[in-house]
Structure 1
Amino acid sequence: MKSQGCRQGRKMEKRNNYQNTEEKTFRNNFGKFKDKKIVLYGIGRFTATLLPCVTDFKIIGLMDRDNANIGKKIYGVPVLGKEEVREKADLIIINTSSNYWKIIYARIADLGIPVYYLNGQLACMKDDEQTYTENPYWEKTYDKLKNEIDNYEVVSFDIFDTLIMRKIYMPQDLYKIVDMRVKKALGDHINYYEMRMEAEFGNSKKEQLLDDIYCSMNKTWKFSENVLQQIMEIEIETEKRFLIPRKDMLHLYNEIGKNKEVHLISDMYLPEKIIRDILMENGVSTVPSIFISGEEKANKKDGTLWKKYAETVVCGRTAIHIGDNYRSDVELPEKYGIHGAYIMNGSEMLKNSSLGGMIPKIEDLDESLFMGMIIAEIFNSPFALAESKGKVVFQDFEKMGYCIWGGIIYSFLTWLLEEAKKRTIERFLFFARDGYFLEKDYHYMIELLGQGQYPETCYLAISRRLILITSYEENEGLDRIASHVYNGKFAEYMEDRFNIVIPSDAEHYSEEINLPEDYEKVKLWFMAYENDILNEIRKEKENYLKYVQNFGINEKDAIVDLWFYGNNQYYLSKTIHKPLMGFYFAYNKSEENICQKTNTMISCFQDEDDLLAERVGLYKLSLWVESFLTAPYGMIKAVDENGNFICCKNGMNQILFDVRERMNEGVCRFMKEYIYLMGGTRGSLNEKFADTFFGQLAEGHMELSKDLQKVFYFDNSIVRRREMGIFE
């Protein structure tokens, strides 16, 4: 009797990309454990692909979250329960997509034996820097602050970052936007940014109004009054463009103003009239007296403005001031008998939240704008993190789309435009189904950008099954198509793989199969239908070739896909007998990937030395990415003679497609606001920065609420019909 390893060796002579790369990675990460008794957690595609390649390892069993599988043999290896694993195994390797690693480890951490993630990292329950949860500020709520205010006769509010906020992280970066708009309107010779910064921060005078600043600037500029006025108007309009209300604080202000004497106090260079206009435009019901440092010639920072306010307004009554600067708005007014109530501004909330690690990464204007938009969205309320104790948790699909996906899709699409320009690409071929939203968003973006020459697009039907069938050659036999991974009933396999419906009374109809492990016996079963299978393949191939030829694909085209090996690009190029260029989120850059040897592949979010995209935040959550970037119909099995899609039955991702549309509405809102705030230009949001922010989700620094988690499913109809919740 020959060993299992010999049998598998014969069966798997034709090795695929998955096997080549994943075997090499597994051996690199776990070669030192070859003599240890190993249990693999996971019974899906990863394990089906890996097991035939590592017969020299001591794989003693598998684990699965479904206890009903305990005692069964899958791929010839027994599924073990926790107690048996505890007794027999030296270590466990979580052999799944990284989406599930932390969830799985939480299930088995109590076994008391080493557990490793597939990347070789030892799993542990260490909570990443969660000291932010201990901040006493998170105890502050809207109701508590309102009750505190009720105890005082006179109330004052800070304005900027308290009642209203800017959609930019560093306030000085606003001047860079103004500089761009000034140059566009009046010429490149005007170096607004440097002179504006020097005039505001280089002047020894602490209390200046905008007119004072511009007079100081013009000592160097020597511009006409008309030009100076135009520049000032651009600055004011840009300032207004970036300002939004902090809704909870504005509501509190308007409510308090009905029954209390309320004042506004600000260290600001804008004159009172403009500030009044800004406040009214942002929803302030009434604007009482305003104490502005530039007009009062006193400021909060050294206490002179507080002294003046205490002597002229408070006059010994009980008073409270609400503001975002702990020294200027809390400590200093206390010296003059005014109680200070501190609320965090958006930037401080970022710093003290679970996302605080992003701050050192904010380096340029586009990153400052991106984070300013995110801060304005999730930290608009100073009480937003009270319930979660500093953890960013998304409760709304549209907001999640705006924050998590907006930067990813926008930076990817603008990257595509840059790559197309460099490589003279005239048309993007967005692959189905991943390209469904991407193509729509691309057209929305170029509509926002306005005039210009942009590559055209088309949406190309493709899937792993479709390309497997279409690349079939008459002389090769059925092994390559038939032996591809599958888990389910034989009848389901025949329909899903070959579009052949067998009679319900057929032999083996309901028998469970696991491919490629069971291929030898399954091959005997399906050969009874060989003629029907071959006729169906020929028909589907003929229809698809006709469909593809209608597009006239040439060297000026480039495909757009997510990841990872580029098999669809590879087989499409073989089908049309032309090399293709492909743009990806990320792809396998290793030498084992045969797809890149005959085609050009270019990645957006991946460093050159990150061959397997291990540092790409998106790829760490690849299943969730695919669960969002899908289409309102199931996997495309084939196209008919008229080019119409023939699809699998809709799964849960399609049944719940409305939530994906709401997420994409958030993406579109992000793109619209980004371009608007950049003055109608697309900017240059760094795609690696956008991915780093996205990666905060994979690192546990952001979360989706339980309700949001429930709507995302993993489906892979070519492999099995069973769907799994991404966050189960």
Structure 2
Amino acid sequence: MDNLFETTVQRAFKEQFNTYKNKKIILYGTGVVAEFILNNNPSYNIIGLMDGNKKHGELLGKKVYSYEEVLKNKPDIIIVATAKRNIEMIYDRLAYFCHTNNIPLYSVDGRNLFTVYGYQGLSDSQIRYFDVHEELLKSQIEKNEIIYFDIYDVLIMRKTLIKLDVLDIVEYRLTQANIKIPDYINARLKAEQEVMRSHGTINEIYEKLAEISNISVENALEAMAVELEVETSITCSRSSIKAMMRYALDENKKVYLVSDTYFQKEFLESLLLSQGITGYSDLIISNEHKRTKREGLLSFWDNNYSNESSLYIGVDSENEIVQENQSKFNIFLIKSAYDMFLLSSYKDMIYSLNNINERSLFGLIVAKLFNSPFALYNSDGKPKVDSNYNFGYVFIAPLIIKYVFWIIGKMKNEKYDDVLFAARDGWITHRLYSIVREKMRMDIPKGIYFQTSRTLCTLASVKTEEDIRWIAEVPHAYEPEQMLKRRFGLANSEIHEYVEENHVDSVWYAYYHKEAIFLNAKRIRESYLNYIESLNLKSEGNYAFVDFVSSGTCQLLLDNITTFHLEGLYYCKYNNNDESKLNLSGDAMFENMVEQVYCSHSYENYLLLETVMTSLNPSIASMGLDGEFIYGEEVRNGKEMMYVQEVHQAVEDIFLDYIENMHIMNIEINKFVVDSIFSYHQSRYTNEQCEIFDNLRLMEDFGQWHMTLPRAT
């Protein structure tokens, strides 16, 4: 900075912020302005910094905070310490955060930015982004001969929520590989900061890291290989921009790809190829030409084509680049997926994400919802979800992923001989449990998909007239004859006609058939116990019993016919005032024991979850004379079966991506984080247009009711 600018900044800072001298101050920025403020105001209580999407690093001993850390440190003020041209853009980024958390937001010259720009939710520039659509970009491509596509956040993006989360994953992988680098993340960032002053490469960053951390260059380059591997695994293309690039090529435009990056050309070419991005004329990268876009990289290159019109497609966080190049290029700006998330109806989720695993899981969702930079077109900020697959990916999968890891935690901390995943609710959880056990080589029980149903357990447990009464009194939607067939497994030939004047009620009608009921129950019980014996379970063993949402009926009935001990592991257990069920062993991720106390959004909407927490088989109705399971009739239609398949596929896809590329062991995802994500399926947050919810039916498998589920509002 020149002396006049320094003098002006220092005078304004001291005049305007003297009253905050002993308060908690956070500076937004890590550039020359912030560095000047820190150097010249050591007596001010500046507790830390913010900078874009960063959550790591430091400047002059001051830590760079994430949004979550800012909230934990409870600052009294945030001061935007950047060049004047960037202040409004940063205000747009911070206004909602500061307004929601009642944090004053000022510019370095002392202006209250809420007063300067006003606050009515989203700014005009943010609202205008809802008008950006694909055809606008296509028309710009048609008007120009040379098209420059930026690489990161334009053609490709990271699936981590923020860029620096990559380093958390790298650090974990280094630990797993026994590559020891003291304080890796801060050392890596410090090395980057030093090397990038001269537009260096990632090789040079790791050579500098070796010097900073006092490790061998060989070890440093091993760590670099891990970072490159992680970068490759967490990268995806932005499909609609990739299609726009293909359109430009088909229109015979010259296409160049641009990036301010420390990655070398060979790595970028390989990364782009892995995402199906080919056909461009060349890569224009800062470390090769020793200048950034801000320093004229585009102008330097474009001088070769001074007689041809050019279009640069970049991200709108590059305002300063736009201002310097708008007379030389036509410019089309899009938002990164992360900035679209902060612009959307989902933005409040930022306050709930408190660790790397929570951010990584939500990052996958952001990468799905906002992969297209045009996803918010005509949206009012509510993203559209219009397929079963995407509904499962965004809303259902996080719940199941959390539940599976909760079960795994129980397996690690308790002594179980094995874990029984109850059909049909346990089908998808058993599959994911098996996948993670194998892929992560966990020393936990193998897991058994346990064939059962409430109807089967009920049939097998009937031994007394009291059992008959209990079953017959449970409300049902059947005619009396159908009740005997479905509840007690009697054949048509064993059922006497129900005559109202001859039978007081359904209980007495059932008593009238008690001999047939007892005989049938004994046969079914023996067959079912034979099946259980075939699983080689220990007669005195201790087994976890996984069911989804339940009061504990199956666990109770199984306890009555088996000798081993069961402990329930439920997603949610609810109280139906049955003391015998309340006394069952086990635990639940959520408990709805008292109606007046809030449980979870997922419990309040568990009927929707029941439509996918199932298998493609009907519920087990009984057991045949040959000892085989007899399945009830399939009441779901073809669309409903396809819905289950597509949701399950989505759940498995995001689960594999998460555990293979992002998950860090022993960092727990909070159950209310995934519950909050699920709550965003409501229409106040999401423009849900899945055809299945026009008429999604649910049949309770014990025959108590059937219904068409209402669409979420």
Q: Which bracket does the TM-score occupy, shorter chain normalised?
A: 0.7 to 0.9
What is the alpha-carbon distance in structure 1 between the residues aligned to residue 565 and residue 336 of structure 2? 53
2: CA distance between counterparts of 1:689 and 1:256? 41
Deviations 1:605-646 (A, max 9, x none): x37998888442322321121111223333323234554222
Tell me which of 170, 187, 190 is aligned to 2:179: 187
Q: How does 1:470-549 map to 2 (within 5 A)?
A: 470-474=460-464, 476=466, 478-500=468-490, 508=498, 521-549=505-533
Q: Is the partner of 1:205 in helix, strand or coil?
A: helix
Task: Provide the rounded CA distance (Å) in 2 between the counterparts of 1:474 and 1:132.
Answer: 73
Pairs within 5 Å for 1:442-453 = 442-449=433-440, 451-453=441-443
Which of the residues 631, 634, 640 maps onto 2:615?
A: 631
Which residue in 2 is equivalent to 1:141? 133
Query: 1:168 offset after TM fit, Å?
Result: 0.5
Q: Write the distance in 1 (CA, Å) between the matches of 2:207 and 2:631.
A: 68
Q: Does 1:160 align with 2:152?
A: yes
Query: Contact 1:434 / 1:562 at 8 angstroms: preserved in 2?
Result: yes
Structure 2 residue 275 is the aligned partner of structure 1 residue 282: yes
Q: CA deviation at 1:400?
A: 3.3
| TM-fit CA distance, 1:568 | 1.6
User: 1:199-598, aligned counterparts within 5 Å?
Assistant: 199-201=191-193, 205=197, 207-258=199-250, 259-300=252-293, 302=294, 304-305=296-297, 308-309=300-301, 312-313=303-304, 315=306, 317-328=308-319, 331-386=322-377, 388-449=379-440, 451-474=441-464, 476=466, 478-500=468-490, 508=498, 521-550=505-534, 551-552=537-538, 554-576=540-562, 579-588=565-574, 592=577, 594-595=579-580, 597-598=582-583
In 2, Cα distance between the equivalents of 1:273 and 1:545? 63
Aligned CA distance change for structure 1 residues 252 and 489 (closer, same or farther; 3 Å): same
Question: Which residue does 1:669 correspond to in 2?
Answer: 653
1:27-106 matched pairs, under 5 angstroms: none
Which AA in structure 2 matches 1:226? E
Matched-pair contact (CA < 8 Å) for 2:426–2:546: yes
**1:616 aligns to 2:606 (yes or no):** no
Amino acid corresponding to residue 645 of structure 1 in structure 2: F
Give the equivalent residue in structure 2 for 1:170: 162
Distance 1:580 1:654, change over 3 A: farther
Contact persistence 1:614–1:620 (CA under 8 A): no
Bigger shift: 162-171 or 139-148?
A: 139-148
Contact 2:344–2:382 (CA under 8 A) maintained in structure 1: yes
Q: How far apart, in 2, do the equivalents of 1:206 and 1:612 lie?
A: 63
Give, as a single letter, the amino acid of the residue that structure 1 aligns with 2:644. R
Note if contact 2:357-2:668 (Cα within 8 Å) is conserved in structure 1: yes
Q: Which amino acid aligns with 1:557?
A: Y
Instruction: State the distance in 2 between where 1:565 and 1:505 align.
Output: 31
Alpha carbons of structure 1 residues 726 and 498: separation in structure 2 relative to 1, 3 Å: farther
Counterpart Cα distance in 1 of 2:374 and 2:309: 25
8 Å contact 1:444–1:668 — kept in the other structure? no
Q: Is the 8 A contact 2:254 2:280 kept in 1?
A: no
Equivalent-residue separation in structure 2 for 1:612 and 1:132 (angstroms) = 43
The 5 Å alignment of 1:708-723 reads 708-710=692-694, 712-720=696-704, 722=706
**Alignment partners' CA distance in 2, 1:298 and 1:307:** 11
Gap regions ≥5 residues in structure 2: 1-120
How do residues 111-150 of structure 1 correspond to structure 2 at under 5 angstroms? 135-150=127-142
2:587 aligns with: 602
- Provide the aligned length of Structure 1 versus Structure 2: 589
Q: Which residue is equivalent to 2:4? A: none
Shift of 1:323: 1.0
Deviation at 1:147, TM superposition (A): 0.7
Deviation at 1:596, TM superposition (A): 5.5
| Structure 2 Cα separation of the partners of residues 654 and 254 of structure 1 | 37
**AA of the residue aligned to 1:408:** L
1:433 partner amino acid: R
Residues 318 and 492 of structure 1, relative CA distance in 2, 3 Å threshold:
same
Whole-Å separation in 1 of the counterparts to 2:123 and 2:459? 54
SS for the counterpart of 1:155 is strand
Provide, for residues 213-235 of structure 1, a one-character-per-residue CA deviation record: whole Å limited to 9, x for no partner: 23432332233332222222222
CA distance in 2, matches of 1:689, 1:132: 31
- Residues 44-99 of structure 1, C-alpha deviation per residue, up to 9 Å, x if partnerless? xxxxxxxxxxxxxxxxxxxxxxxxxxxxxxxxxxxxxxxxxxxxxxxxxxxxxxxx
CA deviation vs aligned residue, 1:26-57 (integer Å, no higher than 9, x gap)? xxxxxxxxxxxxxxxxxxxxxxxxxxxxxxxx
Mapped contact 2:145–2:309 kept (Cα < 8 A) = yes
Deviation of 1:350 (Å) = 1.6
TM-score normalised by L of structure 1: 0.72
- What is the SS of the residue equivalent to 1:587? strand
For the 8 Å contact 1:157–1:265, the answer to whether it is kept is yes
Preserved contact between residue 183 and residue 190 of structure 1 (Cα < 8 Å): no
How far residue 545 of structure 1 moved from its aligned partner, in angstroms, is: 4.4
Are the equivalent residues in 1 in contact too, given 2:472–2:510 (CA < 8 A)? no
2: CA distance between counterparts of 1:609 and 1:173?
A: 38
Query: Cα RMSD over matched residues?
Result: 3.6
For 1:257 and 1:610, the matched residues in 2 are separated by: 63
**Conserved? CA contact 1:429–1:558, under 8 Å:** yes
Tell me, in whole angstroms, the C-alpha distance in 1 between the residues paired with 2:682 and 2:565. 35
Q: Is the 8 A contact 1:544 1:638 kept in 2?
A: no
Match for residue 9 of structure 2? none
Query: What is the match of residue 27 of structure 1?
Result: none
CA distance, structure 2, for counterparts of residue 382 and residue 494 of structure 1: 58
Aligned to 1:341, what secondary structure does the other structure show? strand
Distance 1:723 1:699, change over 3 A: closer
Contact 2:238 2:371 in 1 (8 A): yes
Alignment check: 8 A CA contact 1:320 1:340 kept = yes
| Offset, 1:471 | 3.5
8 Å contact kept, 1:627–1:653: no
- Closer/same/farther in 2, CA of residues 268 and 383 from structure 1, 3 Å limit: same
Q: Counterparts of 2:646 and 2:180 in 1: how far apart (Å)? A: 41
Q: Distance in 1 between matches of 2:124 and 2:639?
A: 38
Tell me, in whole angstroms, the C-alpha distance in 1 between the residues paired with 2:584 and 2:124: 48
Whole-angstrom distance in 2 between the partners of 1:406 and 1:381:
21
SS in structure 2 of the partner of residue 374 of structure 1: helix
Contact 1:464/1:568 (8 A) holds in 2: yes
Listed as ranges, the gaps of 5+ residues in structure 1 are 1-128, 514-518
Matched position secondary structure for 1:581: strand
- Asked whether the equivalents of residues 653 and 713 of structure 1 are also in contact (C-alpha less than 8 Å), the reply is no
The residue that corresponds to 1:49 in the other structure is none
Letter in 2 for 1:315: S
Deviation at 1:714, TM superposition (A): 0.9
Higher-RCO chain (CA-CA 8 Å, sequence separation at least 6): 1
Greater shift, 189-198 or 556-565, is seen at 189-198
**Inter-CA distance 726–500: structure 2 relative to 1 (3 Å threshold):** farther
Contact 1:271–1:294 (8 Å) recurs in 2: yes
Q: Answer with 439-448 or 416-425: which moved more.
A: 439-448
Other structure's SS at 1:488 match: coil
Q: Equivalents in 2 of 1:646, 1:681: separation in Å?
A: 41
Q: Indicate how the Cα distance of structure 1 residues 154 and 546 shifts in structure 2: closer, same or farther if over 3 A, else same.
A: closer
